A and B are shown apart, each in its own frame.
Chain A
Amino acid sequence: MNGLLSKKFLNSIGVELDDKAYAALSEHYEQTLNDRVFKEIVEELTEQQLKELQTLKQASSEELEKWLVNNVPQLDEIVEDEIAILLGEIAENSSNI
């Protein structure tokens, strides 16, 4: 997977960037998306669940994935919503990019 934001999408909304600018935008996009998804996940969890999540700091990816699936039932929606919102924001501000 080459990052979370594709040049194809940017081209489809009329944004054409060179490699350097694309890399910068892609990094900003990823950072924003990670930040928002993390906040939404934390918002959904109870205190007990947060304590459990803390113990998984050193856990493997599979264990963390399993825990997320079991404890955040709306995970699909959260991620899809945030991606859609962020892409929509990029589309809306495409003239300023």
Chain B
Amino acid sequence: MRERIKNTRQTASERASQAFETASERASQVLKLGKSVVEDYFEDRQQRKEDAENDYEQQKQYPRDLDPLRTDAVEILGENPRMLRGRFRKQADKLEEKADKLENNPKEPGIRERILKWRANRTKIKIDRLRGKLKEGGWKSNDRVRAAKLKDLELKQNRLKKDISERASRRREMPEKLRKKIDEYVQKKVKAMDRKARRKILREEGIEWYDFEEKAEFLANLSDAEKKRIAREAILLVRKKNIEKGLLEPAHSVDQAAPQDKVRKVGDHYERVAQ
């Protein structure tokens, strides 16, 4: 008996070690494959970045009319919602999910629409009942009241039908509206990245790109202290907002990130553009 148990254990442990070896081999194969895929992706990305930089070098003009600059970040990340980060990414994901759901079920009414239909049905039942009673006849005074009520119900019915058809057309148009909203987020992000990249490149070249000719009068009427105050208030305002959102600890200065469980680290944005 003991011998049998011992043999069973040995067999089980042999099987376990064999299974482990097979799994390790498979895992290492997957890792190798994965590694080559990742390396290919980075090489491709680097190539695209170099192409974008070469394009810019060939096409740049000073000082203001730069071609729509294909920044390295846009070239790498593209102009799709996946480039968004943080709360804009979450919002874009939610909107996309909603749009997909509406497109996949175009005829399924929403909750409000269903409630309106239910109310319209109930109103119809009441109207039918009242008409029946009016047909039967009875007390004339009751008829007058019933007729007035019937009129009200018919008005209500018309209103409900109108609301239902409005809701239905809104439901049909909703996916497009949602995708437009996602595009707006993406375009905002693209503009911000474009602006950042242009400023960075022009600063590196030592070129001032602000055209303040039209605003010269305004600038002439402000002292340095006043200009500094405006900028300072703006910075402190943004800092206050970030503290309220919980993205920045009050004790930290502007560049210090909040603890690890918070979201933002200043500088990451820039590093992504620079890659």
Residue of B214, B233, B239 with most partner-chain A CB within 10 A = B233
Contact with A along B203-220 (1 / 0, CB 8 A): 100000010101100110
Asked if A68 is at the interface of the complex by the 8 Å CB criterion, the answer is yes
Query: How many Å lie between the Cα of A68 and that of B234 in the bound state?
Result: 7
**Cβ-neighbour of A38 out of B203, B231, B239 (below 8 A):** B231
Main SS of chain A's interface residues?
helix
A80 pairs with B256, CB closer than 8 A: no
Q: Which residues of A contact B269 (CB under 8 A)?
A: 80-81, 84
Residue of A41, A69, A80, A91 with most partner-chain B CB within 10 A = A80
A88 pairs with B271, CB closer than 8 A: yes
A8 pairs with B267, CB closer than 8 A: no
Query: What is the total of A-B residue contacts with beta carbons within 8 Å?
Result: 117
Q: How far is the CB of B246 from chain A (nearest CB, A)?
A: 15
Q: How far is the CB of A68 from chain B (nearest CB, A)?
A: 6
**Cβ-neighbour of A50 out of B215, B238, B270 (below 8 A):** B215
Given contacts A38-B227, A80-B269, A87-B267, contact A65 B255 (CB under 8 A): no
Asked if B145 is at the interface of the complex by the 8 Å CB criterion, the answer is no
Kindly identify, within residues 23 to 66 of chain A, every residue whose CB is under 8 Å from any CB belonging to chain B.
33-35, 37-39, 41-43, 47, 50-51, 53-54, 57, 61, 64-65
Residue of B255, B267, B268 with most partner-chain A CB within 10 A = B255
Asked if B226 is at the interface of the complex by the 8 Å CB criterion, the answer is yes
Given contacts A4-B254, A6-B253, contact A91 B235 (CB under 8 A): no
Asked if A18 is at the interface of the complex by the 8 Å CB criterion, the answer is no
Q: How far is the CB of B258 from chain A (nearest CB, A)?
A: 13
Query: How many Å lie between the Cα of A77 and that of B227 in the bound state?
Result: 19
A81 pairs with B192, CB closer than 8 A: yes
Contact with A along B257-275 (1 / 0, CB 8 A): 0000000001111110010
B234 pairs with A9, CB closer than 8 A: no
Q: Which residues of B contact A47 (CB under 8 A)?
A: 214-215, 218
Can you show 10 pairs from A to B with CB atoms below 8 A apart? A9-B256, A33-B235, A37-B234, A38-B231, A50-B215, A54-B218, A57-B222, A61-B233, A74-B192, A88-B270
